Amino acid sequence: MKSKIKTWIQEDMKDPEFVKAYEFEMAKIEIAHAIINARKKHNLKQTDLMKLTGIKQSEISKIETAQVYPNLSTLLKLFKVLDLKLIAIDVNSQ
C-alpha cells in the first residue's frame, strides 16, 4: 500500500517544474548527508570544521540541514578538509 506522500509525489512528478524543484532539493539533501557523514567520520564538530575551512559555523549548519545550496567554492573547501571528491557523472551514459 502506497503512502499518501508517495502517491502525491508520484502524481506531481508529471509536472516538469515540480521535478526541477524536487531534484534541486534532493541534491541539497545528498550534499548535506555526505558532509555530515564525512565530518563524523573525521570526529569533527561543526566548530572544528569552521576553524579548518574558514566557513562560519552557522553556514555549515545551514548546509548540513539543507537550508542552503552551497556555492562551488564553499563545497571545495569542505570537501578538501573532509577528504571528499566532487564527481560529475553523465546520466545519459547509464
Over residues 52-77, the pLDDT tens digits come to 999 999 999 999 999 998 999 999 99
Q: Which of 71, 80, 88 is nearest to 38 (CA)?
A: 80
Domain boundaries, position 63:
4-93
Q: How confident is the model at residue 94 (pLDDT cuts 50, 70, 90)?
A: low
Q: Are 9 and 38 spatial neighbours (Cβ–Cβ below 8 Å)? A: no
Q: How far apart are CA 3 and CA 62, in angstroms?
A: 29
pLDDT, tens digit, 9 for 90 and up, residues 9-32: 888 888 889 889 999 999 999 999
Burial of residue 60 (CB within 10 Å: 0-12, 13-18, 19+) is: buried
The structure's pTM equals 0.83
Here the CATH number for the domain that contains residue 30 is 1.10.260.40
- Predicted confidence at residue 11, as pLDDT, reads 85
Give the number of domains in the chain.
1
What the block records as the C-alpha cell of 34 is 555526505
Identity of residue 47: T
